[in-house]
């Protein structure tokens, strides 16, 4: 049995008291234990805050070097991390790669961003926001907006579904901004995060105090956060809402960003030819979103909007494609979809499917229990790919975090599509399949306020576009409303969460020297 330890104040701490048991979701065998009881969270915060000075002293080029070194360590140990992702997360090999390679890729992408910033900024550590603004009749008196790295720590709390990518997509951005991190993975799937931090610590590439890890509960850590600290949370809307209301957050102005649930949609435009390239891409993307990570992706499609004349053909094609999915122990040859990750997820997914199915037609799958291939009878957290035809009162507000979609008819207009998107009350991403530029323009105008990211897939890019469920480091990740209102990634944009914007007024010549604008 692996005993997960927290890495806090420069040493590994096993925690005391009652231990939480982590299992292999394919067969429910216990594999690890964790507790953070007894960890001195006050000392961890002080240690992290003190480490900030050394990180801030690094140039962007040096911070990029740190990210490259971290990516190298994870890459060198990729096979071990993939194995652990399979055992603790119920991942197929492909799912595990999506998580682990996503972590390595995002660290590497932010290293490239850092190098580009270094080429522009040299050794300067602050960012300029706009140009000089003349503030008086005499042009010597000017204003300049700048962004500088805040002096606190970043607490990162992550969801269970991406223990590698979820951890390092946040760490990459905070480190490039110069902010130390205390990271907390979801306890149920923490093995990959724990091992990756262990590898990084052993490699010696991390500056002291830059990265601390909590395996287990955060105890009283959050209530100790102060005005320069940050909380970046990924998880359910309910937990996100509760954490926003942490005692002291409002009074101290603790900066919070939340990435939460989302009822992402795919919309078939009226001009899509049944069986054509765009149609096939849409079908492939919906199947991938439903089955990759067993549908446990925050960006996975939950609602598919179809014009009435294409609804039957799409349902038939989708059911046909999903009928070949083999559900079972993901380490078994031939299995193409593993279990959901925890007993609680299984319970919620089955209850959610039953709720969405009420009054509607279940075209495939359903909420009934199912055994997985090569899993002991009655053991493991398996769900069948499920297609529900039609809407009910829950369709636009209940996120089933598993392999389930609802097929919904709409009138084919851009206004109808935008209305359907908006019914989800704010989503991370939605994809639109069409070539008609007038329809696309109207749908962007109508739906963009409800979305963090839109993917417009027409015939010219059908065979080259990345799937909409894939989060790219160069594009924003987050969404309005129930998706949490957060913004992560997006290249350099992601750093702004960790920086303070300050308006500086003064002598054009002096400020020009200080800011390196050459004036």
CB of 304 to ligand NAP, least distance (A): 18
**Beta-carbon contacts of residue 272 (< 8 Å; ≥ 6 apart):** 278, 279, 282, 310, 433, 434
Query: At closest approach, how far in Å is the CB of 470 from ligand NAP?
Result: 13
> Looking at beta carbons only, is 118 or 155 nearer to ligand NAP?
155
Neighbours of 275 (CB within 10 A): 10
Burial (Cβ within 10 Å: 0-12, 13-18, ≥19) of residue 504: middle
Which C-beta is closer to ligand NAP: that of 98 or that of 160?
160
- Marked catalytic residue, from 5, 33, 169, 259: 259
Taking the complex as a whole, the smallest distance from the CB of residue 178 to ligand NAP amounts, in Å, to 23
Residue 64 vs 188, nearer CB to ligand NAP: 188
Least gap, CB of 218 to ligand NAP (angstroms): 4
How many angstroms separate the CA atoms of 382 and 397, rounded? 24
Q: Which two tokens stand for residue 19?
A: 């231990």
Q: Which of 298, 315, 457, 487 is catalytic?
A: 298
- Phi/psi zone of residue 311: left (φ > 0), alpha (ψ -120 to 50 degrees), beta? alpha
Which is closer to ligand NAP, CB of 5 or CB of 259?
259
Is residue 371 within 8 Å of 399, Cβ to Cβ? no
Q: Taking a C-beta distance cutoff of 8 angstroms, is the pair 412, 267 a contact?
A: no
**Closer of 88 and 158 to ligand NAP (Cβ):** 158
CB 259 within 8 A of CB 484: yes
Active site residue 298: yes
Residue 171's nearest CA partner among 108, 239, 253 is: 108
Give the H or E element holding residue 277: helix 277-291
Minimum CB–partner distance for residue 448 and ligand NAP (Å): 18
Specify the residue, 20 or 198, whose C-beta has the smaller distance to ligand NAP: 20
In 229-377, at which residue ranges do the beta strands (DSSP E only) sit? 230-234, 255-259, 264-268, 301-307, 361-364
> Shortest Cβ distance from residue 298 to ligand NAP (Å)?
3
Q: Please give the distance of CA 450 from its chain centroid, rounded to a whole number.
A: 18
Question: 496 in the Ramachandran plot: left (φ > 0), alpha (ψ -120 to 50) or beta?
Answer: alpha
Binding residues (CB under 6 A) for ligand NAP: these are 157-161, 184, 186-188, 217-218, 234-236, 239, 243, 259-262, 298, 399, 401, 428
Which residue numbers are catalytic? Answer: 259, 298
């Amino acid at each position: 049995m692996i005993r997960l330890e927290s890495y806090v104040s420069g040493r590994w701490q096993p925690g005391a008291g009652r231990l939480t048991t982590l299992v292999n979701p394919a067969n429910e065998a216990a594999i690890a234990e964790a507790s953070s009881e007894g960890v001195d969270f006050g000392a961890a915060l002080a240690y992290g805050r003190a480490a900030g000075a050394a990180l801030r002293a690094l140039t962007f080029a040096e911070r990029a070097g740190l990210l490259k070194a971290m990516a190298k360590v994870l890459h060198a140990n990729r096979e071990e991390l993939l194995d652990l992702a399979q055992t603790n997360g119920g991942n197929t090999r492909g799912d595990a790669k999506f998580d682990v390679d996503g972590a390595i890729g995002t660290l590497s992408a932010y290293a490239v961003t850092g190098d580009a910033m270094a080429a522009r900024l040299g050794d300067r550590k602050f960012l300029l926001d706009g140009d000089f603004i003349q503030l008086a009749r005499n042009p010597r008196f000017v204003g300049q907006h700048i962004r500088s790295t805040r002096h606190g720590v970043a607490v990162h709390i992550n969801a269970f579904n991406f223990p590698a990518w979820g951890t390092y997509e946040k760490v990459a951005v905070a480190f490039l901004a110069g902010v130390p991190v205390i990271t907390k993975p979801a306890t149920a799937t923490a093995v990959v995060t724990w091992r990756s931090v262990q590898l990084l610590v052993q490699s010696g590439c991390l500056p002291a105090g830059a990265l601390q890890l909590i395996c287990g509960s955060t105890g009283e850590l959050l209530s100790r956060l102060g005005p320069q600290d940050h909380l970046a949370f990924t998880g359910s809307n309910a937990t996100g809402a509760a954490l926003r209301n942490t005692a002291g957050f409002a009074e101290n102005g603790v900066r919070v960003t939340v990435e939460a649930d989302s009822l992402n949609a795919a919309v078939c435009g009226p001009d899509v030819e049944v069986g054509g390239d765009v149609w096939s891409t849409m079908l492939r993307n919906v199947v991938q979103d439903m089955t990759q990570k067993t549908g446990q992706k925050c960006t996975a499609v939950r609602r598919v909007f179809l014009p009435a004349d294409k609804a039957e053909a799409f349902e038939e094609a989708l059911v046909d494609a999903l009928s070949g999915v083999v559900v079972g122990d993901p380490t078994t040859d031939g299995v193409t979809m593993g279990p959901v990750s925890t007993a609680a997820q299984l319970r919620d997914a089955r209850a959610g499917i039953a709720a969405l199915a009420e009054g509607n037609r279940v075209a495939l799958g359903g909420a009934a229990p199912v055994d997985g291939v090569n899993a002991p009878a009655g053991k493991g957290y398996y769900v069948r790919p499920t297609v529900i035809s039609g809407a009910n009162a829950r369709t636009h507000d209940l996120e089933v975090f598993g392999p389930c979609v609802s097929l919904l008819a709409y009138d084919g207009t851009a206004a109808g599509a935008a209305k359907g998107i908006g019914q989800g009350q704010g989503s991370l991403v939605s994809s639109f399949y069409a070539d008609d530029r007038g329809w696309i323009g109207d749908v962007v105008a109508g739906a963009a306020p409800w979305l963090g990211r839109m993917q417009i897939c027409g015939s010219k890019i059908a065979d080259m576009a990345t799937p909409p469920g894939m989060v790219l480091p160069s594009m924003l990740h987050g969404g309005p409303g129930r998706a949490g209102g957060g913004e992560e990634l997006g290249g350099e944009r992601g750093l702004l969460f960790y920086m303070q914007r300050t308006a500086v007024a003064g002598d054009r010549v002096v400020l020009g020297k200080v800011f390196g604008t050459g004036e």
